[in-house]
Amino acid sequence: MGTFVPSGPTLCRVRGPVQRVRSVLRPDGYHGRGVRSGFFEGWYVKLVSADRSAPWAVIPGVFLGTDGDDHAFVQVLDGSTGRSWYLRYDVADFWASPDRFDVRVGPSRFTERGVDLDLPDGLLRGQVAFTDPLDPWPVTLGSPGIMGWYSWVPFMECYHGICSFGHGLAGSLEVDGAPVSFDGGRGYLEKDWGQAFPAGYVWVHSNHLAADPDACLTASVALIPWLRGSFRGFIVGLRTRDRLYRWATYTGARETHLEIDDAHVRWGLTGPDGRIELVAERTRGGLLHAPVRTSMHERVEETLDARVHVTLHDAGGRRVLDTTAGVAALEVVGDLDRLLAVGTR
């Protein structure tokens, strides 16, 4: 759900170099201060009950259009049924901190301590606490988050951040008036901001790997316009209980293959951290809105019940993982023929 492509000069203006550095080093905070149009930001909050029967994605955010269609929103996806909702709010009902994950949309609030939901018509109402500290992708000056040094490039169209590979949950939500417990469940948190999503991409995530309950997989490959051309860029992170394995355009990793058909996505990568093979089973999902330059367009089909087979060999050739990831989020979107046709960089 996240990658990066160049944009025009209106994106992510901040007031001076100090704020620019501060913004880059806090991917979980709000990046839209000083931006008046052509901007979106959204936080992807995944909540999965302990028995995995209730997987939900709740996405608070804001859209500042180029034609005056400014609004805040909360998107909701019920992973067990595929139902989805796009709830619009006045932009004045949106507030977010630039320094941390702290977002308010209408009466609902999302913070590093958990979520307090009060959505219209009794859709979702209640509190779910995060019982562990958030576990973000490491941020350093040279590599501030999942995008590496690309995070410092000021003309990207879409930026991406991993705010937490995984954390425990406690609490309950009323779903259409019926209580659903999330005690002992598992959460995940990532985000995107910029002007628009890529024209074609694949994104997959799961932190329910059978062989390692502490592990998390996040992976995306997308069309990246660059200068006068484009290339296929990718970012893959596999967080195990011991370490974070990375494959990305900026690490010198390369793809061994990428195949997409109606039933599966098959993807292999090799690099300094070893070799990874992913086979994702495609299933039907619900439609979510995604940002284009003029609107939030309903074009993204996402499932929360995909299965992904993951095989990992480390740099020495030792097999580290050979397992299945469940309750996986999967999006396969846009101009896939072009995505497969362009080369990597």
**Which token pair is 259?**
């195949």
Q: Do 209 and 321 touch, CB atoms closer than 8 A?
A: yes
Nearest to residue 295, comparing CAs of 94, 73, 64? 64
Q: Mean of the per-residue pLDDT values for the chain?
A: 90
Nearest to residue 276, comparing CAs of 298, 255, 252? 255
User: Cα–chain-centroid distance for residue 252?
Assistant: 23
Can you tell me the mean pLDDT for 135-145? 94
Distances (CA, A) of 308 to 264, 299, 312, 330: 9, 23, 13, 9
Cα torsion for 145, 146, 152, 157, to the nearest 10°? -130
Predicted confidence band of residue 19 (pLDDT cuts 50, 70, 90): confident
pTM: 0.92
Which has the higher per-residue pLDDT, 230 or 307?
307
Can you tell me the mean pLDDT for 45-60? 98
Phi, psi values for residue 91, rounded to 5°: -60, -25
**Which token pair is 244?**
């974070």
Can you tell me the mean pLDDT for 102-125? 96
DSSP single-letter state for residue 141:
S
Q: In a 10 Å sphere around its CB, with 0-12 CB exposed, 13-18 middle and 19+ buried, how is residue 177 labelled?
A: exposed
pLDDT of residue 293: 64
Phi, psi values for residue 246, rounded to 5°: -135, 140
Can you tell me the mean pLDDT for 237-266? 95
